[in-house]
């Protein structure tokens, strides 16, 4: 079942290459800590700077490490439809449970172009597709009406909404129905998103505090919103301060402090500034993370 705290996994690097052992060890820690699902090769995984071979290998490594214990939703997005189809086929071939496909970026397609992009992927590969709407990065917004059209495609089963607009949950429910999976793509709004009927969040914060985020979503799943609100207050700074510098540099800095991986990122992302480090440390302590 796709729900709850789904980690948008960072991709560890060592000496310029993907650190395969650190990545699989990191996945093991995530699952042991109560994470409900995994997304390799998303934005937080620096998919834009992974080579084609690396992208496919990271998906394979994640599926192998998860070993069916939690769903793997492989990032398969590109601004080129044929490339998205290729990544989706790879995800299917190695046993991923679903794919996450972002709105085509840079090209600025029309709503019809967006629909045809997802239709081509759906028609090419029989695997569940989560549509990723993030206008801040892709420039183009998927309207609620277009999302309703996308929901009619055979393999489109849900969406990740990173607009932060809570009112969209009801609007998409109205157009797509109760079985359409709605996931927040934004930790700060995930409490409200779930309260309005969402099923979970593809989270950056859960990279650093998987146990706390897993519990946070378990509380909401069991309608214990008063307790969830208390926990959310302790996580609030982490929601925010993992973006004090361009992501995923702050998350990798925090994970380096925890001994999980090197803090290395790829250009044009740069390492965390010294002036940001105390903010990240403070947010981690507020979230109850022992450093």
16-67 pLDDT, tens per residue?
A: 999 999 999 999 999 999 999 999 999 999 999 999 999 999 999 999 999 9
Domain membership of residue 286 (yes or no) is no
- Write out the residue range of the structural domain in which residue 239 sits: 4-243
Query: Is position 92 annotated as part of the catalytic site?
Result: no
| 92, 119, 160, 252: the active-site residue | 160
pLDDT band at 69, cuts 50/70/90? very high
174-195 pLDDT, tens per residue?
A: 999 999 999 999 999 999 999 9
Element (H, E) at 200: strand 200-203
| 56, 90, 119, 132: the active-site residue | 132
Rg of the chain, C-alpha, whole Å: 18
Total domain count, the chain: 1
Query: Is position 160 annotated as part of the catalytic site?
Result: yes
CATH number at residue 107: 3.20.20.70
Domain membership of residue 142 (yes or no) is yes
**pLDDT for 105 beyond 90:** yes
Judge whether 8 and 207 are in contact, CB under 8 Å: yes
Domain membership of residue 170 (yes or no) is yes
Q: Return the number of other C-beta atoms located less than 10 Å from residue 112's C-beta.
A: 10
Mean pLDDT of all residues in 130-145: 96
Domain membership of residue 102 (yes or no) is yes
Mean pLDDT of all residues in 193-201: 97
pTM of the complete model: 0.97
Please provide the average confidence, as pLDDT, over all residues in the chain: 97
pLDDT of residue 290: 87
Domain membership of residue 275 (yes or no) is no
User: Helices 81-94 & 111-124, crossing angle to 10 degrees?
Assistant: 30
Domain membership of residue 139 (yes or no) is yes
* Percentage of residues of the chain with pLDDT beyond 90: 99
pLDDT of residue 206: 98
CA distance 197 to 182: 8
249-289 pLDDT, tens per residue?
A: 999 999 999 999 999 999 999 999 999 999 999 999 999 99
CA distance 117 to 85: 10
pLDDT of residue 291: 84
Domain membership of residue 285 (yes or no) is no
Domain membership of residue 192 (yes or no) is yes
């Amino acid at each position: 079942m796709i729900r709850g705290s789904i980690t948008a996994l960072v991709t560890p690097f060592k000496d310029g290459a993907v650190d395969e052992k650190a990545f699989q060890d990191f996945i093991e820690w995530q699952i042991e800590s109560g994470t409900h699902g995994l997304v390799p090769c998303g934005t937080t995984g620096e998919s834009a700077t992974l080579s084609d071979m690396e992208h496919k290998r990271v998906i394979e490594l994640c599926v192998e490490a998860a070993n069916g214990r939690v769903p793997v939703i492989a990032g398969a997005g590109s601004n080129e439809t044929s490339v998205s189809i290729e990544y989706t086929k790879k995800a299917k071939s190695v046993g991923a449970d679903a794919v996450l496909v972002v709105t085509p970026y840079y090209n600025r397609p029309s709503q019809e172009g967006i629909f045809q992009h997802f239709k081509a992927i759906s028609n090419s590969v029989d695997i569940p597709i989560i549509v990723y709407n993030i206008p801040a990065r892709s420039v183009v917004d998927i309207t609620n009406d277009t999302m309703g059209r996308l929901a009619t495609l055979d393999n489109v089963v849900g969406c990740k909404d990173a607009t932060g607009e809570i009112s969209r949950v009801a609007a998409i429910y109205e157009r797509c129905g109760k079985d359409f999976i709605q996931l927040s793509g934004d930790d700060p709004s995930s409490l409200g998103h779930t309260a309005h009927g969402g099923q979970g969040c593809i989270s950056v914060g859960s990279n650093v505090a998987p146990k706390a985020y897993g519990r946070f979503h378990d509380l909401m799943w069991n309608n214990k919103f008063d307790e969830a609100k208390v926990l959310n207050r302790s996580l609030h700074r982490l929601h925010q301060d993992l973006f004090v510098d361009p992501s995923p540099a702050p998350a990798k800095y925090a994970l380096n402090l925890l001994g999980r991986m090197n803090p290395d990122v790829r250009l044009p992302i740069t390492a965390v500034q010294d002036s940001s480090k105390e903010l990240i440390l403070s947010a981690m302590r507020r979230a109850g993370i022992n450093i």
